[in-house]
Chain A
Amino acid sequence: MTRWGMAIDVKRCVGCQTCTIACKQEHGLPAETVWRFVADCEVGEYPDVRRLFLPMQCMHCAEPPCVPVCPTGASRQRPDGIVWVHYDHCVGCGYCAVACPYQARHLIHTANGYFDRPTPSEAAQARPERHGVMTKCTFCKERVDEGLARGLRPGTDADATPMCAVACIAGAIVFGDLDDATSRVARLAADPRAQVLMSECGTEPRVYYLAD
């Protein structure tokens, strides 16, 4: 059984936001909407202070609180664990966003452009079906599915791997099948340093962070 997941090495991340932009470009996200971002964090107290970069996105939880609350069934979870939104069914109530402990869902109210009129690029990437509905990181499920159909291996072959992992300049983001013991992501997830965000929520995230 395939179980897609991700491991992010926080010590490798340099906070360049390339993953943020790569995701935004890949999915044609309008102005003021990002599905992932890198938080610039200062932790500790003087003189024991550290600066860290924390890439944030949907955790594709095994027990996603966003899915059962959805009143229309638009929020869904695939058998391989990817949590996604069926845009045509979403009513845009925002319930899933307040149910998510990771601030990973983004309602696109209107497709704002960066200028008075849409640029040719913005016009080409316009996705009216996403207006007024909830959107989020999809683990680039289209790339993963198309790659698998072509016999590629997600996490190893770039064309079948989420854009954030492909674009990361530091190799901090690793994607793959957590149930494949030979995959790099499975080995990293099993590393004693690996941890998930806010495990007390009981959501069983499938994005692991290697902090130290």
Chain B
Amino acid sequence: MATVSLSEMIPAQRQTLWGWPAVANFVLGGMGAGWYVVALLAAGFERSPGVTVATWAAPALVLAGFAAVAGEAGRPLRGPRVLTRLRTSWMSRELLIGLAFVLLVVADLVFPLRLHRVQAAVAALLLALAQGFIVRRARGVTAWDVPLVPLLFVLSALLSGAGAYFLVEAASGRPPLPAAVGGVLLLIVVGYMAWSRYLAWRPEEAYRRAVAPLREGPAGTVIDAAGYGVPLLLGLLALAAPVTAAPLLGLAGALLVAGQVCAKARLILDASRLRPITLGIEMSRRRSS
């Protein structure tokens, strides 16, 4: 008897073209964008010491990310050409939005206006979204070609940005207001729900194997604990005992950053198995002896 079945001809292998420079771009760009948005939201879009720090740090982080990834390109001097395919390429859009973000933040420094800050915050969110779509459109990689990835990148940017904000504010002796802490805790819960949904997005074995580096081993524990669980607990403790808020939120911030960095690094470097090559093959059934 013969049956035609889909056979795995070439096993999935990890992509090797995007390494740490790409991780740096996604981590620094996302964190910079998220930090700026969180700082503005916490201050009600008014100028505050926290906003001032974010105003200087966020564009620097975004530009550092671009510089890192440019170093990975084979012909970095052709970088300006990246702006030529805005209609189809999310990489082109990311660069344009990133530059617009930097210019808007600089505009706010020179001519402080609430409108500039609102526009810069929108650009920051779009930057995180564009980074997510870059990964989403990489259809050769099983764990990246998932509709939830752009949302994950936005949430990760906000969480890592909130971590940086908490860390700097706590270190400066300005513990964030309870409302801001409550908002971030809600964000952590939403982020974890999205992350869990992503890890179980498809039931196929190839997908399960592809996302295994994010779910299993020490990295899986670090992402779950540092990226979500422990910061949530520390945030709740800070709300319950305001006297200890500064050190608790500082630690929560550091863990949030570490967890989100770990998640993005593992996603790009390890959960990056290319699709296995499959072909329908007719197999004849023999009786084993």
Which residues of A does B touch, CB under 8 Å? 10, 39, 41, 43-44, 46-48, 50, 52, 54, 56, 65, 67-74, 89-95, 97-103, 107-109, 131-134, 195, 197-198, 201, 209, 211-212
- Which single member of A89, A103, A107 contacts B274 (CB below 8 Å)? A103
Complex contact B78–A41 (CB within 8 A): no
Complex contact A132–B74 (CB within 8 A): yes
**With contacts A94-B18, A97-B17 known, is A52 near B9, CB below 8 A?**
yes
Complex contact B140–A99 (CB within 8 A): yes
**With contacts A91-B79, A98-B18 known, is A56 near B74, CB below 8 A?**
no
In the docked arrangement, what's the CA distance between A10 and B7, Å? Answer: 14
Q: A97-B17, A100-B140 are in contact. List 19 more A-B contacts (CB 8 A).
A: A44-B7, A56-B277, A69-B89, A70-B88, A71-B83, A71-B84, A72-B82, A74-B81, A90-B74, A90-B75, A91-B74, A91-B75, A98-B141, A103-B274, A133-B75, A134-B74, A195-B279, A197-B277, A198-B278
In the docked arrangement, what's the CA distance between A133 and B73, Å? Answer: 8
Stretch in B108-116, B148-156, B280-288 touching the partner: B280-288
**With contacts A69-B88, A69-B89, A91-B75 known, is A101 near B140, CB below 8 A?**
yes
In the docked arrangement, what's the CA distance between A70 and B138, Å? Answer: 11
Q: Is B197 an interface residue (CB 8 A)?
A: no
Complex contact A198–B277 (CB within 8 A): yes
**With contacts A72-B85, A91-B76, A100-B140 known, is A211 near B282, CB below 8 A?**
yes
Q: Which residues 245-263 of B sit at the A interface, judged by CB distance below 8 A? A: none
In the assembled complex, which residues on chain B have CB atoms less than 8 Å from the CB atom of A70? 85, 88-89
Q: Is B95 an interface residue (CB 8 A)?
A: yes
Complex contact A71–B92 (CB within 8 A): yes
In the assembled complex, which residues on chain B have CB atoms less than 8 Å from the CB atom of A94? 17-18, 72-73
In the docked arrangement, what's the CA distance between A41 and B279, Å? Answer: 11
- Which single member of B76, B88, B138, B280 contacts A98 (CB below 8 Å)? B138
Q: Is B35 an interface residue (CB 8 A)?
A: no
In the docked arrangement, what's the CA distance between A39 and B7, Å? Answer: 14
Interface range for B = 35 or more
A to B CB contacts below 8 Å, 30 in the list: A39-B10, A43-B7, A46-B288, A47-B289, A50-B281, A50-B283, A67-B88, A68-B89, A68-B137, A69-B91, A71-B81, A71-B92, A72-B78, A72-B85, A74-B81, A91-B74, A91-B75, A93-B69, A93-B72, A93-B74, A95-B91, A95-B138, A98-B15, A98-B141, A98-B144, A98-B274, A99-B139, A101-B140, A197-B278, A211-B281
Q: How far is the CB of B93 from chain A (nearest CB, A)?
A: 9
Q: Is B134 an interface residue (CB 8 A)?
A: yes
Complex contact B9–A54 (CB within 8 A): yes
Which among B18, B74, B287 has the greatest number of chain A C-beta atoms within 10 A? B74
In the assembled complex, which residues on chain B have CB atoms less than 8 Å from the CB atom of A195? 279-280
In the assembled complex, which residues on chain B have CB atoms less than 8 Å from the CB atom of A99? 137-140
* Pairs of residues from A and B, 4 with the lowest C-beta to C-beta distance, nearest first: A92-B74, A132-B74, A94-B17, A212-B282
In the assembled complex, which residues on chain A have CB atoms less than 8 Å from the CB atom of B10? 39, 41, 54, 56, 103
